[in-house]
Every structure is written in structure tokens, then in C-alpha cells.
């Protein structure tokens, strides 16, 4: 599945504002929706060719799990996209970090599926493209979610008021002036 890039990137520095983060969120939401639709179509194809698969139940469970995973992720992204124009709340960053963390954790499920059911001799090699696409599309979408942590950090940074610039400090005191300030002159101590 082709995934277009949004420019500028989230790590572009001061040029990144809330509108750019929203563009990235919309892109992730669109990619998530397309990936989920692809997974549902692949699930139907698995049902059609189930007699040719070594373990159709494993393929169905894998696709069903990620269809639900991406449905949840799409809903969370949709919520953030609708709420963010009204103002940032820390829950937005928490949700993005959670999605990125969950995606990283579920990457192992993709690796296991690929190693156990794709990268091996299959009874019917005609189903290999189907299984490869199932593993690859899920993997690619999960990889895209890694930058959600960066998006969360950018939102926090641009929403946090910046302290005013500090006034430049005058040239420091010399040794003699510093000593004079620290130690009261002898006359002051005797008079009081």
C-alpha cells in the first residue's frame, strides 16, 4: 500500500505547528482506514481459499485482531482530530503515545505470523502473496505509528507557554567587587 508523506516532517523544528500536526494525524487516520479496509478484504479472501491454507484459523485470527486494532486506532485518531482545533489537552498526547506503544508491542505478532505461516514451504504456493500482503500491510501501518510519539511531544511543546527570554546578564563582578559585596566594610560593623 502506497503511503504518501506529509511535509514538513514532524522533526522539522520551529516550522511545525498545530496545523502540520493535524495534517499528519489526518494522514495517519486515512492510512489506518485504508489498511483496515484492506485487512477486511484479505479476510474475505482467506475465507475463499481456506482449503489451500495450512492453518486458516491462524490467518483469520491475525486479520480479525488487526481489523479491531486499527478500528480502535482510527477512532482514537478521529477523536483527536475533531478535538484538537478547540485546544490541546494532555490526553491527546497520552493517546498518541499509547497508540505508538501498542503498535510497537504488536509488531511482534506480525513477526511471529510471518515467520510461522509465510516464510516457510506452503502446501499451495498460490496463497503466499495473500499471506505476505497481510503481514506486510499490517507491519507497514504499525511502523507508521512510531512517529506518533514525536507528534505527542510536538503538541506538548507548542502548547506549553514559553518563558520570556532572560535579560542578558551584565558582565560579572571582578574579584575585588565580589569580595566587597560579600564582606561588609569594617566601618559598618563597628558603627552598629
- What sign does the dihedral 56-58-64-67 (CA atoms) show? negative
> 25-34, 52-61, 119-128, 132-141: which has the minimum mean pLDDT?
119-128
Q: What is the pLDDT of residue 171?
A: 65
Contacts of 1 (CB under 8 A, 6+ apart): 31, 34, 35, 38, 137, 140
Percent of the chain at pLDDT > 70 equals: 83
Annotated domain spans of the chain: 13-164
Instruction: For residue 77, give the nearest of 110, 140, 32 by alpha carbon.
Output: 32
Cell numbers standing for residue 76: 482514537
**H helix runs in the chain, sequence order:** 18-48, 56-83, 90-113, 128-144, 148-159, 175-182, 186-191
DSSP single-letter state for residue 16: -
User: What are the backbone dihedrals phi and psi of residue 2, each rounded to the nearest 5 degrees, phi first?
Assistant: -75, 130
pTM reported for the whole predicted model: 0.79
Q: What is the pLDDT of residue 172?
A: 66
Asked if the model's pLDDT at residue 187 lies above 60, the reply is: no
pLDDT in tens, 56-87: 999 999 999 999 999 999 999 999 999 999 98
Q: What is the pLDDT of residue 191?
A: 52
Query: Virtual CA dihedral for 151, 84, 5, 158, nearest 10 degrees?
Result: -40
Residue indicated by cell numbers 552598629: 192
Q: What is the pLDDT of residue 160?
A: 76
Q: What is the pLDDT of residue 166?
A: 63
The fold for domain 13-164 equals 1.20.120
pLDDT in tens, 168-186: 555 666 667 766 666 665 5
Whole-number Å distance between alpha carbons of 124 and 53? 7
Amino acid at each position: 500500500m502506497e503511503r504518501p508523506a506529509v511535509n514538513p516532517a514532524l522533526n522539522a523544528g520551529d516550522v511545525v505547528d498545530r496545523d502540520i500536526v493535524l495534517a499528519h494525524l489526518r494522514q495517519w487516520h486515512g492510512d489506518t482506514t485504508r489498511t483496515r479496509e484492506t485487512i477486511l478484504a484479505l479476510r474475505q479472501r482467506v475465507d475463499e481459499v481456506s482449503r489451500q491454507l495450512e492453518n486458516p484459523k491462524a490467518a483469520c485470527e491475525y486479520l480479525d485482531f488487526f481489523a479491531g486494532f486499527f478500528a480502535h486506532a482510527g477512532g482514537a485518531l478521529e477523536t483527536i482530530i475533531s478535538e484538537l482545533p478547540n485546544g490541546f489537552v494532555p490526553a491527546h498526547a497520552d493517546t498518541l503515545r499509547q497508540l505508538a506503544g501498542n503498535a510497537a508491542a504488536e509488531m511482534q505478532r506480525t513477526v511471529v505470523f510471518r515467520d510461522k505461516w509465510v516464510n516457510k514451504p506452503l502446501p499451495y504456493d498460490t496463497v503466499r502473496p495473500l499471506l505476505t500482503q497481510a503481514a506486510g500491510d499490517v507491519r507497514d501501518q504499525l511502523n507508521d505509528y512510531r512517529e506518533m510519539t514525536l507528534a505527542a511531544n510536538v503538541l506538548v511543546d507548542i502548547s506549553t507557554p514559553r518563558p520570556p527570554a532572560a535579560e542578558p546578564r551584565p558582565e560579572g563582578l571582578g574579584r575585588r567587587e565580589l569580595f566587597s559585596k560579600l564582606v561588609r566594610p569594617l566601618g559598618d560593623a563597628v558603627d552598629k
